[in-house]
A and B are shown apart, each in its own frame.
Chain A
Amino acid sequence: MDESIIRTLQEIVGPEHVLTDPEDLLLYAYDASIHAGRPDVVVFPESTEQVSRVMALAHAHHIPVIPRGGGTNLSGGSVAPQGGIVLTLSRMTKVREIDIPNQRAVVEAGLYNLTLQEILAPYGYLYAPDPASQKVSTLGGNVAENAGGPHCLKYGVTTNHVLGLEVVLYDGRVVQLGGKAFDTPGYDLVGLLVGSEGTLGVVTAVTVRLLHVPEAIKTLLAIFDDLDGASQAVSDIIAAGIVPATLEMMDQLMMRAVEEATHAGYPTDAEAVLIIELDGLKDDMEEIADRIAQICQRNRARAVQVARTAEERDKLWAGRRGAFGATGRIKPAYLVNDGTVPRTALPQVLRQVREIGQRYGLPIGNVFHAGDGNLHPLILFDPREEGILELVERAGAEIMRICVEAGGTITGEHGIGLEKIHGMPLIASPAAIQNMRWVKEAFDPVGLLNPGKVLPQTSEGVPA
């Protein structure tokens, strides 16, 4: 990259916040997915104004910009396959406003999700989306991916809790979209930006909706000796009209990794468990818990246990949240699918996933948001094995396809990124993709914002 551009970047954010050495570029060439792409420069702005100046500079010189938060992306969304500027928002962590009477907060994009929760806890409030990575994933990243999390079964995903965004546009202009109100006149541009994976603008601040901490919480662990029973129980709970706060499933392979990592108390001899959490008013909680227990027992649950203390509950969740990372105890790498299927299709799709694993000779672990049918089959492998990556990608593509065939979709919360770009035509018609392209052009006429992500190339059967 041109020396004068580097100098200007240094003037904008300070020399110590511009990295160009090969060591540093390598450190921003990866995320938590299997993809990689090395930037030409890494920049750490501290304010919206600095982001704006960086964007104007990038626009003037036609340099790609890849926004980045905690680098925990699971679909290659924060790597730089075409080089350019990695714009890391990790220094933008200010809490601009906590407005308890109106149940809103305005925070900068680099703040960790969990840090926001910790700030809100003393007020008796929370921010509902709780991705498993919440202790290291940023709110900006959560917005970009429209992140979910276990509690999204009851409360919805990020888009249901974000009301306003401060966005720096491709040329450096700063716009405020939405605000504290539930609905804003005109097009829902906040809704458009949430989940746009950094391809439409750089989100620098987020106005979120806050919820009261529920009066009571009850966490159940239902233990099954067969996977079919567990997945049927999920279908039956939902069909019975019960909406727990969470309804998570973990299979035996994942429980073994998680137990080794966290000693949370998961039964490693069982085929699967459901982590079912109820929250709300104390009054009817016992009755609902009983109904859930009965449904589980009808589906051959070996036992339904209740977390007796907050510590027991925390341990179960620490295990669940740490599950992806814990796979390193089995194999050094994983490809995680993120398909979402109708809950009635869960038993059948899980059987098919298992069959794919057997056919390819690849271990596949499952730990996922069963309640909203959001699967996370983790294909575990050792990248040093000759030809393994191709095999893994083929198995991954097959899993995407069966999800779509079952009436589902290819991603629930991890984004398309680079990883699922070839799957886009499976779920979006050529006309729909064309519409997305027009949106992209409106927000990013030159194509410099996180280029090469989300939208497939025209050669993939989609008209330009």
Chain B
Amino acid sequence: MDFKELLAPYMDEMLRCTRCGFCQAACPTYDALRMESAVARGKIQLLLSVLNGRLDLSPKLSYYVYRCLDCRLCQQTCLSGVHTDEIFEGARRWLAHVGALPAPLQALEQRVFASHNIAGEDNAHRTLWRENMNLEVPAGQPAEVVFFIGCVASLYPMVYSIPQAFVQVLQRAGVSFSALDGEEWCCGYPLISAGRDAGPLMEHNIAAVERLGARWLVTTCPSCYHTWKTIYPPTSFQVMHATELLAALIEEGRIRPAHPPTVRRAGDAAGPLRVTYHDPCDLGRKSGVYDAPRRVITALPGVELVEMSTHHALATCCGGGGNLESIDPELSAQIAGRRLAQAQRAKAEVLVTACQQCQRTLGMAARRQRVRMPVMDVAELLLSAMEEPA
């Protein structure tokens, strides 16, 4: 059985592609590879060929479909308005259904089901990020705000600094919040983006948050945010991104940035600190949150926000989107390097983002290319501009 009927509903949408090829200019993967297999036009033609019986399912076809950042810039810029998101989501569901998931994604799926996190670690280790902090982080306690930390920031030391900074800001602002610790399970996004359902994970997470009587769920991870906000069923609490909460706290006067951010600058640097903001695809293009992080950055003294050549809805992906890093880490790194180069051309001194995945890929690119540009989260930049508590 090839279950092509799972693909058939997307036929009309695929036929709307006029093959003009303009998506070549949008696609970061194509930009790096310069091969038609990378670009939306090509993938659509392959899928149409499957539906027309001219092409059989193969590991290569599956690889091409999954070798995608799911950044949706092709859709954002498509002149015919082809909904590539729907087409490729459908294609991934089909491929997952017929057992054609690429091996790295099968392994990821097994890890998530077995351990409830993407790293495959004991889920009790989700507390690691805060254990070396000299700070009490409430967990499992009734609170108005539940902080959903996400797998990457909980378990990957390179980005522990994001939740660490965020909780310090919350505490200084006097926000009552709680983490879920081991009761936090993967939000399900890696499975959903691979074409799987994540029902049991969603049900568990909703129940865990509701048990604490929270009114708000806040995430620093844009992928968790996007998933909770647009894929989860309606919940009794509201979902917000960390940058939205931070912007509101600043505007309500509960956080008062006191001085310019404490960031290492070049010896000859003068004038305001030039900060550029990288829009994470899941937060910007997919969720429409563009202004909140910028409001936080521009509220800091001595900072000038400079935009890269692509930003807001047209921002280029960091290379860490979709399943690309699992499928082809080298390609993902190459794309990250190109985004970093945009920040350099904007003459930014600091590259700020609001996503642990973007921070990882861009930070690694900076290290690899020996670029002395700090890559940090909005919360980290904000924290560095606040007075130390007495």
Contacts and interface: CB of A to CB of B under 8 A. Distances in A.
Interface of A: 19, 21-24, 26-28, 30-32, 44, 70-72, 90-91, 110, 112, 114, 133, 135-136, 260-262, 322-329, 332-334, 382-384
Contacts of B56: 22
Nearest to B43: A27
Given A31-B19, A325-B20, A26 B25 contact: no
B82 A328 contact: yes
Interface stretch (B33-41, B119-127, B315-323, B367-375): B33-41
Contacts of A322: 22, 79
A333 B17 CA distance: 8
Contact of B79 (A70, A72, A328): A328
18 contacts: A23-B58, A23-B60, A26-B46, A26-B55, A27-B46, A32-B19, A70-B24, A71-B36, A112-B25, A133-B20, A260-B81, A261-B81, A322-B22, A324-B18, A324-B79, A325-B22, A326-B80, A328-B80
B61 interface: yes
B314 to A, nearest CB: 11
Interface string B36-65: 110000100110010000111010110010
Nearest to B12: A332
B80 A24 contact: no
B80 A327 contact: yes
Interface string B8-29: 0000000111111110110000
B214 to A, nearest CB: 39
Given A32-B21, A328-B82, 19 more contacts: A19-B35, A21-B60, A23-B64, A26-B46, A27-B45, A44-B34, A91-B34, A114-B25, A133-B21, A136-B21, A261-B80, A322-B79, A325-B78, A328-B17, A328-B81, A329-B80, A332-B17, A333-B15, A333-B18
B79 A326 contact: yes
B42 A32 contact: no
A72 B35 contact: no
Contacts of B80: 261, 325-329
Given A332-B15, A384-B15, A72 B55 contact: no
A24 to B, nearest CB: 7
Contact of B81 (A24, A136, A323, A329): A329
Interface in B234-278: none
Contacts, number: 100
B3 to A, nearest CB: 19
B46 to A, nearest CB: 6
Nearest to A262: B79
A404 B54 CA distance: 39
The 9 closest A-B pairs by CB, nearest first: A328-B80, A325-B79, A325-B20, A332-B15, A90-B34, A27-B36, A322-B79, A326-B79, A135-B25
B66 to A, nearest CB: 13
Interface of B: 15-22, 24-25, 34-37, 42, 45-46, 49, 54-56, 58, 60-61, 64, 78-82
B61 A133 contact: no
Contact of A24 (B15, B25, B37): B37
A44 B37 CA distance: 13
Nearest to A261: B79
Contact of B19 (A19, A30, A44, A112): A30
B180 to A, nearest CB: 42
B113 to A, nearest CB: 30
B112 to A, nearest CB: 29
Contacts of A328: 16-18, 78-82
A328 B82 CA distance: 8
Contacts of A26: 45-46, 49, 54-55
A255 B256 CA distance: 50
A11 B45 CA distance: 30
Nearest to B23: A136
A451 B30 CA distance: 28
Contacts of A260: 81
Nearest to B11: A384
Contacts of B20: 32, 72, 133, 324-325
A110 B16 CA distance: 28
Contacts of B60: 21, 23-24
Contact of B42 (A27, A323, A327): A27
Contacts of B61: 23
Contacts of B46: 23, 26-27
B19 A136 contact: no
Contacts of A324: 18, 20, 79
Nearest to B42: A27
Contact of A332 (B18, B49, B58): B18
A161 to B, nearest CB: 22
A270 B277 CA distance: 41
B55 A22 contact: yes
Nearest to A89: B34
B18 A32 contact: yes
B16 A332 contact: yes
Contacts of A22: 55-56, 58
A329 B12 CA distance: 12
A133 B22 contact: yes
A325 B18 contact: yes
A356 B147 CA distance: 65
A47 to B, nearest CB: 15
A91 B35 CA distance: 9
Contact of A327 (B18, B37, B45): B18
Among B16, B78, B80, B81, the most chain A Cβ lie within 10 Å of the Cβ of B80
Contacts of B34: 44, 90-91, 110
Nearest to B37: A27
A23 B36 CA distance: 10
Among B15, B19, B46, B78, the most chain A Cβ lie within 10 Å of the Cβ of B19
Nearest to A383: B15
Nearest to B17: A328
B221 to A, nearest CB: 32
B330 to A, nearest CB: 12
Among A72, A112, A325, A334, the most chain B Cβ lie within 10 Å of the Cβ of A325
A61 to B, nearest CB: 25
B76 to A, nearest CB: 11
A115 B58 CA distance: 36
Nearest to A134: B25
A418 B157 CA distance: 58
Nearest to B15: A332
Nearest to A74: B20
A31 B35 CA distance: 13
Nearest to B54: A26
A23 B21 contact: no
Nearest to A34: B19
Given A27-B46, A326-B79, A70 B21 contact: yes
A425 B88 CA distance: 45
A326 B16 CA distance: 10
Among A23, A31, A261, A324, the most chain B Cβ lie within 10 Å of the Cβ of A23
Contacts of B25: 112, 114, 135-136
A327 B64 CA distance: 27
A136 B24 contact: yes
